Amino acid sequence: MYGHTDRKKGRFKKIAIVIILPFLLLLLSYGAYKVFFIPAPEISGLEQFSLLPKKKNITLTAKNIQKLQIALKQGRLVKTIIDFQGDEVERLFEITVKPKELGLHDGSARLFVYAKNGLLKKKELILPVEIDTRPPVLQIIRSPFQLKSGSTGLALLKAKGADRVYIKENENIFTAYKLKDSPNEYVVIFPARYDIERKTVFYAVAEDRAGNQTIKSLRTRVVIKNFRHSNIRINDDFINRVVYPLLGETEVDDPVEAFKTVNEKWRKRDTEQLHEIGMRSADSPLWKGAFLQLKNSKVMAKYGDKRTYIYNGRPISKSIHLGYDLASVSNAPVPAANSGRVVYADDLGIYGNAVVIDHGLGLMSLYGHMSEIRVTPGQDVKKGEIIGYTGSTGFAGGDHLHFGILVQGFEVSPLYFWDARWVRNNLEIQ
């Protein structure tokens, strides 16, 4: 009887072991994973602490963390920046560091980082930090009293302790160039865009490598110029002879959409390319005196002309003309409007065969629709030197030259640059 009971208990033990053993193995495996195989903590963005200005927004990404502590230490002072405990696969930390409010002074400090995941996976770092909360000194020496939309201004600035100086207009940044013979003085040539608003304020900004800024507003007021408006009638012949070849087609299903593609999408694309070209300029003036107009030419279209295109009696598209169209004889020789360096000489979409000459300090000239280009990128040219011949390439209905002026990548009116007195009073550094 007792032997039967013992055998029965033995069977229960075996059954219990069979049932419990998988759970024990699972528990042991999980424990081994937590100890040996759990991923180590990862933190990206710590380099943002290397140089701290008066105020800095910092974004860190931490992966595989159960605990994260970050602190700034200077002397005996320790200031905790992050103290996190949890269990995150990935977490974003967005913090604002203001050293002075933390009691830290300019100079050296250290960043202590401690991160942990599981029992054994840890990361400990000590990183050097430099604190610089002193902003640059900025002075506006000269700036225009007013600018008409489509015109150009020049400002002289003096900045000490700055690594970058510029003028800002809304989201647009206009680079200031350091004068080689005047310590701490900068010159910036900047545009008043054709569509600028009357209440626009221009700001001079001096910025150091830490990100500290000194900002001052220019006295410059904006005067809105009223540009002409014209209706331009287009027909199937223009679309067949000009638009289709540009698109690489001999016929399309929708001539209106074909026209709009070139006039709107291509124009936007080519304007953006011109802006990119215009942002890479020599840091010293290469031009001298007034700019040349195409010899014996007649003005066919002006800067700022607002055009509405009419097809079969209805408006189908619009554009703003941002240069001067100058017509002479067919294949007329085109002179460089002023001395400079060729930075572009190739096809440029709606402008056809085009040349862009850099005159330094963000100032460039554009020559479009040419039948032939006689210069190459990198070539230095002198005022009056022939760079090509007029034509009707690109989005042009007849032989002419599209002449434009770029200032910091934006097209402005060339009319001012043909005036020797205006150039002397507004572009020469006195």
In a shared domain, residues 126 and 68: yes
In a shared domain, residues 303 and 289: yes
In a shared domain, residues 397 and 288: yes
What separation in angstroms does the CA of 372 have from each of 295, 353, 369?
17, 7, 9
**Shortest CA distance to 355 belongs to which of 299, 401, 289, 395?**
401
What separation in angstroms does the CA of 355 have from each of 301, 303, 332, 358, 417?
19, 18, 15, 10, 18
Q: How much is the pLDDT for 253? A: 82
Element (H, E) at 7: helix 2-32
Q: How much is the pLDDT for 18? A: 58
User: Beta 363-370 vs 401-407: how paired, if at all?
Assistant: antiparallel
Give the residue from 208, 223, 238 where a domain finishes.
Answer: 223
**Shortest CA distance to 274 belongs to which of 387, 408, 414?**
408
Question: At 122, which CATH number?
Answer: 2.70.50.50
Both tokens of 387, joined, read: 């760079």
Q: How much is the pLDDT for 32? A: 46
Q: What is the DSSP string of 208-220?
A: -TT--EEEEE---
Strand blocks (E) in 235-329 = 298-301, 305-311, 314-321, 324-327
In a shared domain, residues 250 and 180: no
Q: Are 129 and 72 in contact (CB under 8 A)?
A: yes
Q: How much is the pLDDT for 28? A: 47
In a shared domain, residues 166 and 204: yes
> Any idea which residue has 């000490």 for tokens?
160
In a shared domain, residues 290 and 351: yes
In a shared domain, residues 177 and 283: no
Say which residues have a Cβ less than 8 Å from residue 388's Cβ, sequence separation at least 6: 333, 334, 353, 355, 367, 370, 371, 372, 373, 374, 375
In a shared domain, residues 247 and 119: no
**Total number of domains in the chain:** 4
What value, to the nearest 5°, has the Cα angle with vertex 203 and ends 199 and 209?
A: 155
In a shared domain, residues 108 and 170: no
Give the residue from 207, 223, 239 where a domain finishes.
Answer: 223
**Shortest CA distance to 279 belongs to which of 387, 185, 166?**
166
Q: What torsion do the CA atoms of 370, 374, 379, 381 make, to the nearest 10 degrees?
A: -80
Q: How much is the pLDDT for 182? A: 83
Residues of the chain where predicted confidence (pLDDT) is lower than 50: 28, 30-33, 35
Give the residue from 131, 149, 167 where a domain finishes.
Answer: 131
Q: Please count the other Cβ atoms lying within 10 Å of the Cβ belonging to residue 425.
A: 11
Question: At 204, which CATH number?
Answer: 2.60.40.2470
Q: How much is the pLDDT for 284? A: 93
In a shared domain, residues 283 and 417: yes
In a shared domain, residues 261 and 409: yes
In a shared domain, residues 253 and 390: yes
> What is d(CA 412, CA 405) in angstroms, rounded to the nearest whole number?
6
**Domain enclosing residue 21, as ranges:** 1-35
